[in-house]
Structure 1
Amino acid sequence: MSIVRSHPTTTQTDPRQVAWRMLLTVHAHAYRQIDTELISAGALSFDDYDVLLTLNEAENETLRMSELAEAVLLSNSGMSRRVTQLVACGLVTRKQSEHDGRVFRVKLTVKGRKALDRTWAVYKPLIDNIFAKHFSEEEAFQLASLLQKVLNATGLDHHRNLLENGMTDAPKPNA
């Protein structure tokens, strides 16, 4: 059964509220569709890809657990459990700090890097098909500029200059 919420069309509707709802809807739809396709292809889940990509983007492909939980884009709920599963698969290592027993560092492994690259080969065409093909390059740049404006005002330091730096979901090349 489909749920349809009808609202009277009035001039009182704030287009910024409509834009927000549309952004959430597009994100949720694309997330579910891409995650389903990745898993069907035997690739990493969207959430696992996000964790490995976050590590890939970090200096020395290593972060403290707390930094990793803060930096992931999709879901940091259950991060300890997720990292434990990634360790069990050999995709990351987790080591306790010698200086502070409360601190754990997570590092991308060679196997994790290979899984990231294999998943990117499946993920990139999904981005193109589900999202990118609906925009001209100019429209995509306009959308990215608008979203960067929000990130500059509300995001963390590492969210600034994503557009200028050409940040994508592609893994960084091997160093």
Structure 2
Amino acid sequence: MIPVQPTQVRWLNDEEQRAWRAFIDGSQRLMAVLNRDLADATGLTLADYRILVLLSEAPRNALRMSELAEGILASRSKLTHQVRRLEGQGLVVRESCEDDGRGVIARITPRGLDTLRESAPGHVESVRANFIDLLDQKQLNALSDVFEKIDSFLHEQSS
């Protein structure tokens, strides 16, 4: 959590400022390139692709909408809009939850699985060309360690 009113601002020094700005600029530029490459090749956005991946990896290719929202780090209303769009393309269906009848489950369709299989090779190549292949193994390990630490901290803070 961010303190409401810090008593004294802890300004970033030059090295911290460099790291912060490099992260902001690099991550935004990377996500824009990956999103453009995916959309140009398949018509899917990164958000669409992430939903299809999570559903394809889930038991019976389905997740509760609440679990899916948590998995893609989106609000339920934003997810509902995205799933509705994917449903219109025949890639996902929504069903009532068998357990309680109140919940809604999203399930990837056979067409959605085919679309994911067709789009994955090009997307992975874009990830390699614009991210993985630019770094050595030591840098990849450090990056994984850093963002696993950040993700864990922020997840604990939101729980």
1:83 positional shift = 0.8
Question: Is 2:118 the partner of 1:118?
Answer: yes
CA contact (8 A) 2:64 2:97 kept: no
Aligned: 1:95 with 2:95: yes
1:90–1:112 contact (8 Å) kept in structure 2:
yes
Distance 2:44 2:123 in 1: 10
Relative to 1, partners in 2 of residues 1:16 and 1:117: Cα closer, same or farther, differing over 3 Å? farther
In structure 2, runs of 5+ residues without a counterpart are: 1-10
Contact preservation (8 Å) 1:44, 1:116: no
Amino acid at match of 1:85: R
Percent of counterpart pairs with the same letter? Answer: 28
Tell me the CA shift for residue 81 of structure 1: 1.7
Aligned partner letter, 2:84: T
The letter for the 1-side match of 2:135 is F
- Give the direction of change, closer, same or farther, for the CA distance of 1:133–1:106 in structure 2 (3 Å limit): same
8 Å CA contact retained: 2:90, 2:112: yes
Please, what is the CA RMSD of the aligned residues?
Answer: 2.3
CA contact (8 A) 1:43 1:115 kept: no
Matched, 1:52 2:38: no
SS in structure 1 of the partner of residue 42 of structure 2: coil
Deviations 1:99-130 (A, max 9, x none): 54531100111211111111111111111111
Determine which structure has the larger helix proportion and give its number: 2
Partner of 1:129: 129
The equivalent of 1:22 in structure 2 is: 22
- When normalised by structure 2's length, the TM-score is 0.78
Change beyond 3 A, Cα 1:138–1:93: same
Change (3 A) 1:78 1:14: same
Q: What is the aligned partner in structure 1 of residue 6 from structure 2?
A: none
| 1:19 aligned counterpart, secondary structure | helix
Partner letter of residue 69 of structure 1? A
Q: Number of paired residues?
A: 145
Q: Can you give the 5+ residue segments of structure 1 that lack an aligned partner in the other structure?
A: 1-10, 157-175
Q: Distance in 2 between matches of 1:54 and 1:17?
A: 35
Task: Tell me how far apart the structure 2 counterparts of residues 23 and 12 of structure 1 sit (CA, whole Å).
Answer: 14
Q: What secondary structure sits across from 1:115 in the alignment?
A: helix
Alpha carbons of structure 1 residues 96 and 14: separation in structure 2 relative to 1, 3 Å: farther
Correspondence 1:150-165 to 2 at 5 A = 150-155=150-155
SS at structure 2 position matched to 1:44: coil
Deviation per residue, 1:118-164 (Å, 9 max, x gap): 111111111111111221122211211222222233336xxxxxxxx
Aligned to 1:171: none
Question: Contact (CA 8 Å) 1:43, 1:118: kept in 2 or not?
Answer: no
User: 3-state DSSP class of the match of 1:149?
Assistant: helix
Q: Distance in 1 between matches of 2:80 and 2:12?
A: 45
- Structure 1 segments (4+ residues) deviating >3 Å: 14-18, 98-102
Residues in 1 aligned to 2:62 and 2:20: alpha-carbon distance in whole angstroms: 34
